[in-house]
Amino acid sequence: MGALDIAIVGPALKPIGESFGVDERALAWVFTTYVLFNLVGNPLMARLSDIYGRREIYSLDIALFAAGSLVVALAPGFSVLLLGRAVQGLAAGGIFPVASATIGETFPPERRGRALGATGAMFGLAFLVGPLLGGVLLPFGWPWFFLVNLPLATLVLWLGARVLPSSPQPGPVRFDWPGMGLLAAGLACLTLGLNGLDARHPGASLASPRVWALLVTAVVVLSLFWRGQQRTPDPVVHPDLLKNRQLRLVYRLAAISGLVHAVLIFVPALAAAAFGVRPATASLLLVPAVTASAVGAPLAGRLLDRLGSRAVLTAACATLAAGLLLVPLTVRSLPLFAAAGAAIGFGLAGLTGAPLRYAVLSEAAGRTRAASLALLTVFASVGQMAGGALIGAVIASHGGAVSGYSLAFLLVAAAAAAGLLVASGLKGREAERFAARREGPTQSW
């Protein structure tokens, strides 16, 4: 449900603009609002689930997501629609880390990979089904893009009450609301600052007071947040998480995965420039990558159980680098271009989602498990936003020519190759399993 909402919103933007009489600049806030509150919701909901229990916070997130969907669908004005998107983003920020933490606590290490792989496959499936479902719902009106979430949420709430475990922290635990406020403010300034960068004029936009002031404020506020976290007894993000070498390597890989996701946004534009196809046809060239990612996710999950995260992540980074390097060489052959996209999809299946979450779950203790998973999304989102601005600037510097796209893909291929070096420093299979069994699952799967 969470991934589907991202995939089907695109076709609804134009009718939303027509319905409320807003231009494309205003419509961009439909995405920006969701991304911003999603980023804040990750550490907030994850930490709350560490304190009050997985089932309770997961159910709260599902209910909030449904409520936000209803607000969007029934919005009398554009500002109310954005309010609904904020509620959706905040709730969705908690769905993924809390679900992954629940898997970590209910599945033993030798079965954890395939469970995470199954959830990863849902992303690929949602991005395949999303445009098709959007086409079916569009004749009935754009509100149905959001109303479709209500029966899904009802079903998940009913099943969650029956199946999901409740695991609140024993004893009183305070929530660090001042720290959460600083983190939310810092992430908000960072998101708005990065979104304010103009890919066509990166230097001029970075020099504008609005952008640099937001970025400087983000650095200052996040520094204050981090200093406070080292003093408070119940931090939102435990300082030990970033002192752990294994987790630091995983978070670097998360940032690289965000960078790779950013370059995929430009695939349709590259196809249109290289092959002269229409935008609608160019978008279809993402299908090989998305399909390969959907097929590769459960396969990566099974390999995690057998080989561990280091083997899967190094192979994924190598495949990803090879696929990205092939893109500039295939801009004259549509079949080869699609094949390169499939390689990128398989590489992403082995880098994002299950493998990174598997590595975190093997290392993080129960009290910090969801919070450590939430940091994955924070690092990936920052990598994606910064990567989008950088890649756009490279392409714009070449006037939108194929050479600019080729250079951008080569730069991202270099980042994937750097990921290969990072992944090679992770723990081996036996050391990883030993770390995972130090605490063990809280109950039998």
Q: Give the integer Cα–Cα distance in Å for 87 and 97.
A: 17
Torsion angle of the four alpha carbons 35, 36, 38, 42, in this order, in degrees rounded to the nearest 10? 130
Distance CA 95, CA 87 (A): 13
φ and ψ of 398, to 5 deg = -105, 15
| CA atoms in the 13 A half-sphere facing the CB of 400 | 7
How many other β-carbons are positioned within 10 Å of the β-carbon of residue 397? 15
Per-residue pLDDT tens, the chain, 445 aa: give them.
777 776 677 667 778 888 888 887 787 788 888 888 888 888 888 888 888 888 889 999 999 999 999 999 999 999 999 999 999 999 988 888 888 888 878 888 778 888 888 877 777 677 667 766 776 777 888 898 899 899 999 999 999 888 887 766 655 667 888 888 998 898 888 878 877 766 566 667 677 777 888 889 989 998 998 888 888 887 888 787 788 889 999 999 999 988 888 787 777 778 878 887 776 666 677 778 888 888 888 888 888 888 888 999 999 999 999 999 998 888 788 888 888 888 998 888 888 778 888 888 888 766 677 888 888 888 888 888 787 777 877 877 777 788 888 888 899 999 999 999 999 998 887 777 776 665 543 333 2
Structure tokens at 335: 């079949």
